[in-house]
Amino acid sequence: MGLIAMCCFDTEENGRTKFTAKTLESLEDTVDLNKHRIIIVDNASCQETKDLLAFFGKKDNVEIITLPENIGTAKAINLAWRRRRPQEHLVKMDNDVVFHQENWVDLLEEAIGRDPEVIGQAALKRKDLAETPLSDNDWYRSELVMLPHKPGEKWIVGEKVLHCMGTCVMHNYRLIDKVGGLHQMDGLYGFDDSLMSLRSRLSGFKNMFIHGAEIDHIDPGDNPYSKEKQEYAGRMMAAYSKAREEYTAGTRSLYEEL
């Protein structure tokens, strides 16, 4: 049982409605809504996206939360996660991803179930990421592992990493019980995925990409909005480093209220 949370901030200026439309179509094609739920938080998007979400929200087990202003990614996802049910794993995903295999939610859920006290984050891996067991860089060096297996079960390969890129990440409900929600630094965006990966490791869990389901990140990043977010991230780097140091030193609580 998984709760999939996504937020949208689509405006006429940033032109992201086309990405949201493809993402919604992909979710419809690949997620079994008899088993899982989807909650989408609209961070004051344009009317075109509101219309898309209103139509998608008519499906069973889909809920749309419409906000009058953009409250930021982490806060929006936390708002959806507050509606979690007991023992429900929580997915954070972006609104610019396309899935190529059905039942990817079930794959991530099964991966966590194979080692539930160990795997905190189970993610799908983008094709543009640098993590590999062959990397010379400690930050990107990963380790391939076979998840626990019983005769008759399919084999599942995990890739243990320091940081799961937040395009599509399932969070073990046990991790959420320990650390709470995403941390949003001052502003609307900034490193919530990286900080959650750190908090996961510091609380005793491991982070893994789970292989077996292919995704595409469909935003080419060549637009003013993407460049604006990159520049914003650069300005937030000092605050991010400070938060990492505080979490690691134990001077900041790993737990963040949802």
Q: In the chain, where are the structural domains located? A: 2-249
Question: Is the confidence at residue 89, as pLDDT, over 80?
Answer: yes
Read off the pLDDT of residues 24-54 as tens digits, 9 standing for 90 and up.
Answer: 999 999 999 999 999 999 999 999 999 999 9
What is the per-residue pLDDT for 229? 67
Task: Report the amino acid identity of residue 194.
Answer: S
Give per-residue burial for 231-243: e unless 16+ CB within 10 Å, then b: eeeeebeeebeeb
Question: Is the confidence at residue 190, as pLDDT, over 80?
Answer: no
CA distance 178 to 120: 10
**pTM to 2 decimal places:** 0.95
Please report the DSSP string for 143-180 in residue order. Answer: EEEEPP--TTSPP-EEEEES---TTEEEE-HHHHHHHB
CATH architecture assignment, domain 2-249: Alpha-Beta Complex (3.90)
What count of other Cβ atoms lies within 10 Å of the Cβ of residue 143? 12
